[in-house]
């Protein structure tokens, strides 16, 4: 399956999923939990100046980026300036 290729200073991120069970095995309700604010970089645009590469884990604010669905998979396109840190 192919994925979108980001342009300019955009970074394509696969957002980490919220856990569905706790460490003790209790099923967690998913409707009121905020989405995770980290993910794995899947691609970078040609004008990204920061040392970010595919496979890096990045942190970003809760409302940054644009969520998009491509071939049934959800991604987040984030401007380079909106990334907070790499892990």
What is the reported pLDDT for 59? 94
Distance, in Å, from the CA atom of 36 to the CA atom of 23, rounded to the nearest integer, reads: 17
Are the C-beta atoms of 59 and 36 separated by less than 8 Å? no
What is the reported pLDDT for 30? 62
**3 state SS of 80:** helix
User: Is 1 a residue whose pLDDT tops 60?
Assistant: no
Could you report the per-residue pLDDT of 14-73, keeping only the tens digit for each?
A: 988 766 677 787 776 765 556 668 999 999 999 999 899 999 999 998 889 999 999 988
pLDDT confidence tier of residue 2, bands split at 50, 70 and 90 = confident
């Amino acid at each position: 399956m192919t994925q979108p290729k980001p342009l300019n200073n955009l970074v394509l991120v696969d957002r980490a999923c919220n856990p569905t069970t706790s460490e003790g095995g209790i099923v967690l309700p998913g409707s009121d939990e905020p989405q995770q604010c980290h993910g794995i970089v899947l691609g970078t645009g040609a004008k990204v100046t920061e040392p970010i590469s595919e496979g890096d884990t990045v942190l970003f604010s809760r409302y940054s980026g644009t969520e998009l669905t491509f071939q049934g998979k959800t991604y987040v396109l984030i401007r380079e300036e909106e990334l907070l840190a790499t892990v």
